[in-house]
């Protein structure tokens, strides 16, 4: 039997129209949007399907929208009998993975992500920061550049070989970018359109506010192996997972290590569940001998069900 991992996208994969085809054609997906709107008391369905894009890009909306679209796609895959042997999610996507592994109920995931997004957006307004992608540089080389900056800046995402993201205070990030451009060429660095310095110490206020919300939500033991962002390793029990979710807000996302951990368990087939194909690309760059597909609409669903589905 094929060993399969589901991976779930994070902020940045949003697009107007996401989830619409699945909701229109699968009642199980439509029910996810109904549940989200009822719990949140807002028109998340309309925002996902119709926009406007400017509202969808706001952190408080983006994170809830991607979570809901990802769980809708997950429910459709389950209806087709496609079940993962392991799961993981990139940053925000970790909450979708927690639902997929049985650690979190979808309703509780919505409440946590709503609080997380609000606190992160608030921290972004009060603690001015930014992020930048640095391509083609070795980790140790970039780490040394970060250490030369006068201010807060750190590697926030270890996405794949040669693709790193830094996060921190604006001047400190710009300092590292200018040094990186001098060493590896200007085309290899680009600022990211974000509302804050995610996965850096500037998110500490959000982290502290989030703790009381997180502590009040029940977490269950994972029913499916889940590899966690902070460690890049499988989370073994609910208490450890709770601690890692708290840390995740200010700690880097070890995505390359996460993929290698899953691969080392014997899994070479990955399906990205939710909008976009960002993570599928990272799989191909990190694990070139593995395969990656994505599910976000009817066309991509058909390709995955042809490959992995049952008659359901």
Cα separations in angstroms, 86 against 162, 187, 210, 212: 25, 36, 27, 29
Of 19-28, 180-189, 201-210, the one with minimum mean pLDDT is 180-189
Q: What average pLDDT does this structure show over 214-222?
A: 97
In this prediction, residue 312 carries a pLDDT of: 37
Distance CA 116, CA 122 (A): 10
Residue 184 confidence class, pLDDT cut points 50, 70, 90: low
Distance CA 50, CA 82 (A): 29
Residue 12 confidence class, pLDDT cut points 50, 70, 90: confident
Catalytic-labelled residue, pool 199, 200, 251, 254? 199
Angle between the N-to-C axes of helices 106-126 and 204-215, in degrees from 0 to 180, rounded to the nearest 10: 160
For residue 104, the 8-state DSSP code is S
Q: Which fold has domain 4-124+202-308?
A: Malonyl-Coenzyme A Acyl Carrier Protein; domain 2 (3.40.366)
Both tokens assigned to 232:
């890049």
Q: What average pLDDT does this structure show over 152-165?
A: 96
Residue 235 confidence class, pLDDT cut points 50, 70, 90: confident
Judge whether 91 counts as a catalytic residue. Answer: yes
Helix (H, G, I), strand (E, B) or coil at 252: coil
Task: Show me where the domains of the chain are located.
Answer: 4-124+202-308, 128-195
pLDDT tens by residue, 264-277: 999 999 999 999 99
Both tokens assigned to 164:
């790193």
Supply the mean pLDDT for the chain: 95
Distance CA 43, CA 51 (A): 10
The alpha carbon of residue 85 and the mean position of all alpha carbons in its chain are separated, in whole angstroms, by 19
Distance CA 86, CA 234 (A): 9
Distance CA 36, CA 110 (A): 7
Q: What average pLDDT does this structure show over 204-230?
A: 97
Distance CA 9, CA 89 (A): 6
**Does 1 have pLDDT greater than 70?**
no
Distance CA 116, CA 309 (A): 35
pLDDT tens by residue, 116-156: 999 999 999 998 999 999 998 999 999 999 999 999 999 99
- What CATH number belongs to 128-195? 3.30.70.250
Helix (H, G, I), strand (E, B) or coil at 138: coil
As a residue count, the chain comes to: 312
Percentage of the chain with pLDDT > 70? 97
Residue 185 confidence class, pLDDT cut points 50, 70, 90: low
pLDDT tens by residue, 29-81: 999 999 999 999 989 999 999 999 999 989 889 999 999 999 999 999 999 99
The order of strands in the sheet holding 269-273 is: 225-226, 86-89, 4-8, 269-273, 291-295
In this prediction, residue 186 carries a pLDDT of: 44
In this prediction, residue 2 carries a pLDDT of: 74
For residue 254, the 8-state DSSP code is -
Residue 194's nearest CA partner among 50, 91, 40, 48 is 91
Q: What average pLDDT does this structure show over 14-32?
A: 97
| Cβ contacts of 192 within 8 Å, gap of 6 or more | 12, 130, 131, 132, 133, 165
Judge whether 199 counts as a catalytic residue. Answer: yes
Residue 302 confidence class, pLDDT cut points 50, 70, 90: very high
**Does 183 have pLDDT greater than 90?**
no
Q: How many CA atoms lie within 13 A of 168 on its CB side?
A: 20
Distance CA 36, CA 254 (A): 29
Catalytic-labelled residue, pool 91, 96, 195, 200? 91
């Amino acid at each position: 039997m094929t060993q399969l991992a589901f991976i779930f996208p994070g902020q940045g994969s949003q697009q107007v129209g996401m989830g619409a085809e699945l909701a229109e054609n699968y009642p199980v997906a439509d029910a996810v949007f109904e549940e989200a709107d009822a719990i949140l008391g807002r028109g998340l369905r309309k925002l996902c399907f119709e926009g406007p894009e400017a509202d969808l890009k706001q952190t408080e909306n983006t994170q809830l929208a991607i979570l809901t679209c990802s769980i809708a796609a997950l429910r459709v895959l389950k209806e087709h009998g496609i079940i993962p042997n392991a799961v993981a999610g990139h940053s925000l996507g970790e909450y979708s993975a927690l639902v997929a592994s049985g650690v979190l109920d979808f309703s509780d995931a919505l409440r946590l992500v709503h609080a997380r997004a609000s606190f992160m957006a608030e921290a972004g307004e009060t603690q001015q920061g930014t992020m930048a992608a640095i391509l083609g540089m070795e980790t140790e080389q970039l780490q040394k550049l970060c250490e030369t900056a006068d201010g807060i800046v750190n590697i926030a995402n270890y996405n794949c070989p040669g693709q790193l993201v830094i996060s921190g205070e604006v001047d400190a990030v710009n300092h590292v970018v200018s040094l990186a451009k001098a060493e590896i060429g200007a085309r290899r660095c680009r600022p990211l359109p974000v509302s804050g310095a995610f996965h850096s110490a500037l998110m500490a206020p959000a982290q502290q506010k989030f703790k009381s919300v997180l502590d009040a939500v029940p977490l269950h033991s994972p029913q499916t192996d889940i590899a966690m962002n902070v460690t890049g390793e499988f989370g073994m029990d609910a208490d450890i997972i709770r601690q890692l979710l708290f840390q995740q807000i200010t700690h880097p996302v070890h995505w390359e290590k996460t993929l290698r951990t899953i691969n080392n368990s014997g899994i070479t087939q990955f399906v990205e569940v939710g909008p976009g194909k960002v993570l599928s690309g990272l799989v191909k760059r990190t694990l070139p001998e593995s395969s990656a597909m994505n599910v976000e609409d009817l066309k991509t669903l058909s390709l995955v069900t042809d490959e992995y589905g049952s008659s359901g």
